[in-house]
Structure 1
């Protein structure tokens, strides 16, 4: 089969060069470019004396990704074939794609990335530094699914010792509905849960087919009668203005803070969540909470 370059596809004119066809050719070129930049030595393969192909051969990428050689060849020939998220994930790992390249791969293939990190900005050293500099104000980074991806020392002890919770369970929805110590710190818990469930339903509308979203929903339905009750109301809330929130911290007592979301991308997914004290009493208690967090790490 004779393949076309992207320029050739564009030259066909708007009536022939459909967006899907253009994406297939862009995907083919992208795969070739990433295949050619990886040496056999990078993946533990012998170079051999007669190798003329820059980087890896197609059959080597197919073998390392556990896909058929013919099928992978068709991908690089821009044929109209279906590709699963699992195969794209394998190719991304074989080709050693970074976060931006992985997102580009899935976008070109018209597939949804099941990786939990796919909806969150990369946690750069600069972003982590910002979390630390906000001390003693509690702050964390969440994605659109409410996974807690990073946090500062004050936030760590705001509800309970977050370090003691397994990373896969560090999700605000799961904790608010299933973790008794976390739940016990939240004033007006019923109203908070109702709003969160409504926001989660609104956010999930764009992610209905994503395994990670469905996994969180299944856990909530299986583990929380309170969640099942509010979920059945089918309430939807897109966003809630910054407002004062009240917590009863088990170490320092009542805390009153203003919740603010600082969005980290244009898609409205990843955000830095900050809690600003509303009075001197809360400010002093947050200072004390940070001291306790730092001393417990020393």
Structure 2
């Protein structure tokens, strides 16, 4: 029964959500005003087949990550999100866990910054949303799963990022990243996912373990960054990180000084998207 109710709720909220409100282009012939299954699947980062099976009650026990992604794509309120978790047989995340809830207000802010690279991270530096200009600048994250979406994991155990570092800036960046994660651990000591992430990093990265065990304190700082893009070349941009009060979300925004070559390259990237000039 719960599985059927879950599917009915998803379908009802999908019918309610307009493409424009979800940040998608409207217009064209539509049999209904709401999102198509294909659009919801794209926004949530899951397959169309899985959305279909969920709505029809043929798929059971969706994970917390899937429920969170659907709630975010459907732009549910906090109360609606909690209800969707319960319909999935899950306990809604409480204040003792790192929140992955992106409020409709933050979603609308991203919609209005459609020409600017913007990404939203949780307090663990796990990527929640990246708009198309951010994907074009830093690489398409749509295929990343699990720890691949965590910026700390990607730096110490994964492929890293396109940001260029000097030895001095690298040391400062790593120290700030680890200190910020430590501060998050102190705020959310009961978060099992965060504890597992820290344990994995300590066990597999000597550099992370050294910084973690040294007790370094501080925060990950924003500033000017040079991004080595494989198609348009290096871009030196201002990187600002805004914290959303009450949810501990981090909104990362990249901008270029108007009239510069960096601004021209960034504008080209926005048009190019994630296509390759050499592909």
Matching of residues 92-171 of structure 1 within 5 Å: 95-96=86-87, 102=92, 106=94, 112-113=96-97, 118-124=98-104, 127-171=106-150
Shift of 1:148: 0.5
Q: Calculate the TM-score normalised by the size of structure 2.
A: 0.59
Change (3 A) 1:127 1:92: closer
What runs of 5+ residues in structure 2 fail to find an aligned partner?
8-81
2:202 match: secondary structure:
helix
Give the conservation status (yes or no) of the 8 Å contact 1:257–1:277: yes
Query: Matches of 1:250 and 1:190 in 2, distance apart?
Result: 25
Deviations 1:80-113 (A, max 9, x none): xxxxxxxxxxx9778449x9x945xx46xxxx34
Larger helix proportion, structure 1 or 2? Answer: 1
Matching of residues 154-233 of structure 1 within 5 Å: 154-180=133-159, 182-183=160-161, 185-188=163-166, 189-233=170-214
Query: Matches of 2:5 and 2:157 in 1, distance apart?
Result: 45
**How many residues end up aligned between the 2 structures?**
199
Query: Matches of 1:207 and 1:43 in 2, distance apart?
Result: 29
Change (3 A) 1:282 1:201: same
RMSD, aligned CA: 3.6
1:262 match: secondary structure:
strand
Deviations 1:246-268 (A, max 9, x none): 2222222222222222332335x
From the CA coordinates, give the structure whose radius of gyration is larger: 1
Query: Matches of 2:140 and 2:192 in 1, distance apart?
Result: 28
Matching of residues 1-298 of structure 1 within 5 Å: 42=5, 95-96=86-87, 102=92, 106=94, 112-113=96-97, 118-124=98-104, 127-180=106-159, 182-183=160-161, 185-188=163-166, 189-238=170-219, 240=221, 242-266=222-246, 269-278=248-257, 280-293=260-273, 295=275
